[in-house]
Amino acid sequence: MSDLDLLYRKLEAVTGLYATLDLEAPLPPLGDWAIDPFMAVTIVNTVLDIRPRLVVECGSGASTVVAAAALRRLGGRRHLVSVEHNELYADISRGYLRRHDLGQWAEVRDGPLVEGPHGLWYDLSAFDVDREIDLLLVDGPSTEIGVHARRPAVPALYAKLARDARILVDDATREGEQTAIASWQRDFPDLEFQILWTQTGCGFGIRRREVVEGADGAR
């Protein structure tokens, strides 16, 4: 794909986001450290498709805004909980939620990084929710703390996932994310992943309702 073609597709994606979500305020910048426009579209399409009651997000930013705006479009009792370890980023994300009047649909919680049963990751108390997670967005913590910074996400939150939950992982073409996805599929046989095209790759996972039994009857 040429640079011109890529630019056209980015503009097309961003224009579609504003139209689909009926946005009146500017989105956070897309690309570089933030999700790219194609990942943003994937998040929105997934939310509109599966109609989640609860979305939980690791790391906040542009993804928080577009996911919350998609929940607002659906209406009903739906909510997004975003956990962020960087206080500055958390405040910036909260500011965007206010500007887009999305406070009813989303919140950003402070989740400091602590050593836990799955290694250095967010304080698990930040993920205290009263319902099952229908959609898990994995876009943090930053790999500044390590290549495998996002690997604890599924082991830490697996027990909270709905039986048909979806999981979206940004930057899925990187080594750390690929290793994490492979380990999740190995350790949790009811999870299936494929890689969708975005600039940095999107890991798209689904938790199947039933797991095929092996020859010994084990699940």
Is residue 145 classed as helix, strand or coil in its secondary structure? helix
- Domain regions of the chain by residue span: 3-198
Edge-first strand order for the sheet with 106-110 is: 106-110, 79-84, 54-58, 133-138, 161-170, 202-207, 191-196
- Report the chain's mean pLDDT, rounded to a whole number: 94
DSSP string, 74-92: H-SS-EEEEEES-HHHHHH
Residue 118 has pLDDT above 70, yes or no: yes
Distance CA(54)–CA(77), nearest Å, equals 9
Does the model's pTM come out above 0.75? yes
Chain segment 77-104, per-residue pLDDT in tens: 999 999 999 999 999 999 999 999 999 9
Selected from 1.10.3730.10, 2.60.120.200, 3.40.640.10, 3.40.50.150, the CATH number assigned to the domain covering 3-198 reads: 3.40.50.150
Q: How far is CA 115 from CA 18, 144, 166, in A?
A: 40, 16, 26
